[in-house]
């Protein structure tokens, strides 16, 4: 049997939402006609070209427009099609404002900070917004069985997924694994909400070894259980987990070239009362 090769999908382009600029109405791809030419994203001088493909930006690509990162305002953007953001002061929206992410180390490895990252666990994913067929998201998942631990989280922890696409630098909270050896500590049995905040324009599938966790998607005691969650560009994903496996565990982006670049940390689950 033989069939025609189906046509390729349209090449997805990153949008304002992928830059963490809030939950705007992107229906119909209305942002694709925007004039990005004057928008400085972490560019010290001049404007880096902003219409980038959703795929990986690899070393060796033509990065002639790239400049050293610094706080960049979005002056010069054509805001005429940004209906969902009416009333906002677009002229002052910074794409590298560390005041919204105080824990993130300020260094050249952090190209952008998402100013208003929305929860994107219900989004279909880059390039799948307008494909004309049903696309499943994390919101469609329900656990078959009741979750083993349905306690509310005792504390929460924000972890920023940070990077610099032009320099191919990747990190958590602006610090790559090789520069920081302290593990993220947990006490045996504690239940913690982890909020992953993607400050980059790429998706990162974040993987925790040794544990399953429950995605926070409003499914109560039937929350979907995962060990890896995809955090979409400029957005957030949250999960609750019970630190029930003693020891040191890898915690990293599962795009292994991101992990190798430093987007990884050790999670250490310590016995109760140990050294406290
Ligand atoms: Cu990654």
pLDDT per residue as tens digits for the range 241-269: 999 999 999 999 999 999 999 999 999 99
According to the model, what pLDDT value does residue 58 have? 40
Q: What band does 67 get if pLDDT is binned at 50, 70 and 90? A: very low
Evaluate whether residue 30 is within a structural domain. Answer: no
What is the Å distance from ligand 1's center to 264 Cα?
A: 9
Question: Which CATH number belongs to the domain containing residue 262 in this structure?
Answer: 2.60.40.420
pLDDT at 41: 47
Q: Which of 201, 184, 178, 162 is nearest to 260 (CA)?
A: 178
pLDDT at 212: 97
In this predicted structure, what is the pLDDT of residue 23? 64
Whole-number Å distance, alpha carbon 262 to ligand 1 midpoint, is 10
Is 239 domain-assigned? yes
CA of 260 to the centre of ligand 1 (A): 10
pLDDT of residue 83: 40
- 167 Cα: distance to centroid of ligand 1 (angstroms): 14
Q: What is the pTM of this model?
A: 0.77
Query: Does any domain span residue 6?
Result: no
What is the CA(119)–ligand 1 centre distance, in A? 18
- The mean pLDDT of 135-141, rounded to a whole number, is 97
Q: Is residue 164 part of a domain?
A: yes
Can you tell me the mean pLDDT for 113-117?
95
CA of 163 to the centre of ligand 1 (A): 9
Comparison of pLDDT for 273 and 138, the residue scoring more: 138
Q: What is the distance between the alpha carbons of residues 14 and 32, in angstroms, rounded to a whole number? A: 9
- Tell me, in angstroms, the distance from the centre of ligand 1 to residue 126's CA: 15
Q: Which residue has the higher pLDDT, 28 or 183?
A: 183
Q: Is residue 247 part of a domain?
A: yes
* Within-domain flag for 9: no
Number of independent structural domains in the chain: 1
Residue 130: per-residue pLDDT = 86
Arithmetic mean of pLDDT, 234-245: 97
Residue 204 CA to ligand 1 centre (angstroms): 4
Helix (H) or strand (E) holding 110: none
Q: From ligand 1's centre to the CA of 39, what distance in Å?
A: 25
Ligand 1: distance of its center to the CA of 99 in Å?
23
Q: What's the pLDDT tens digit per position in 198-218? A: 999 999 999 999 999 999 999
* Mean predicted confidence (pLDDT) in 127-145: 94
Share of the chain above pLDDT 70, in %: 73
Residues with CB under 5 A from ligand 1 (ion): 204, 253, 255, 258
Cα-to-centroid distance, 232 and ligand 1 (Å):
10
261 assigned to some structural domain:
yes
Tell me what the mean pLDDT of segment 181-198 comes to.
97
**Mean pLDDT within 163-171:** 96
Q: What is the pLDDT of residue 171?
A: 98
Highest mean pLDDT pick, 17-31, 92-106, 147-161:
147-161
User: Ligand 1 centre from 267 Cα, in Å?
Assistant: 17
Give the domain extent around 169.
138-270
d(CA 95, CA 177): 24
Number of Cβ within a 10 Å radius of residue 171: 30
Give residue 63 CA to ligand 1 midpoint distance, Å: 20
The alpha carbon of 47 and the centre of ligand 1 are apart by a number of angstroms equal to: 25
Does residue 16 fall inside a structural domain? no
Q: How high is the pLDDT of residue 9?
A: 86
Helix extents (H) in the chain = 256-261
Label residue 274 exposed, middle or buried (CB < 10 Å: 0-12, 13-18, 19+). Answer: exposed
Pairing of strands 228-231, 204-208: antiparallel
Residue 37 C-alpha to ligand 1 middle, in angstroms?
27
Q: Is the pLDDT of residue 149 over 90?
A: yes
Q: Locate tokens 């590298």: which residue?
A: 96
Q: Residue 238 pLDDT > 50, yes or no?
A: yes
87 CA distance to ligand 1 middle (Å): 34
* 17-52: pLDDT as tens digits: 999 988 655 444 444 434 444 344 444 333 344 444
Average pLDDT score over the chain: 81
Mean per-residue pLDDT, 96-119: 95
| Cα–ligand 1 centroid distance for 29 (angstroms) | 25
Ligand 1 center to 255 CA (angstroms): 5
């Amino acid at each position: 049997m033989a069939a025609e090769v189906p046509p390729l999908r349209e090449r997805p382009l990153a949008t304002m939402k992928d830059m963490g600029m809030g939950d705007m109405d992107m229906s119909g791809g209305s942002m694709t006609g925007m004039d990005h030419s004057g928008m400085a994203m972490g560019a010290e001088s001049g404007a880096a070209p902003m219409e980038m493909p959703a795929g990986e930006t690899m070393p060796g690509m033509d990065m002639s427009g790239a400049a050293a990162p610094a706080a960049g305002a979005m002056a010069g953007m054509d805001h005429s099609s940004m209906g969902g953001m009416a009333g906002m002061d677009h002229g002052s929206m910074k794409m590298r404002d560390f005041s919204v992410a105080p824990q993130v180390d300020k260094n050249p490895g952090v190209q952008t900070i998402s100013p208003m990252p929305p929860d994107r666990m219900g989004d279909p994913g880059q390039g799948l917004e307008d494909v004309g067929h049903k696309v499943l998201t994390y919101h469609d998942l329900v656990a078959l069985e009741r979750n083993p631990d349905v306690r509310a989280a005792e504390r929460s922890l924000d972890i920023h997924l940070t990077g610099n696409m032009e320099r191919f630098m990747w990190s958590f909270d602006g610090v790559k694994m090789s520069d920081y050896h302290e593990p993220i500590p947990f006490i045996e049995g504690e239940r913690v909400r982890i909020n992953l905040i993607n400050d980059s324009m790429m998706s990162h599938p974040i993987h925790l070894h040794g544990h399953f966790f429950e995605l926070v998607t409003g499914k109560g005691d039937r929350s979907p259980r995962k060990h890896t969650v995809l955090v979409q560009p400029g957005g957030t994903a949250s999960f609750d987990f019970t630190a029930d496996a003693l020891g040191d565990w890898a915690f990293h982006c599962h795009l292994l070239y991101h992990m190798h670049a430093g987007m990884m940390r050790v999670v250490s689950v310590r016995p109760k009362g140990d050294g406290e």
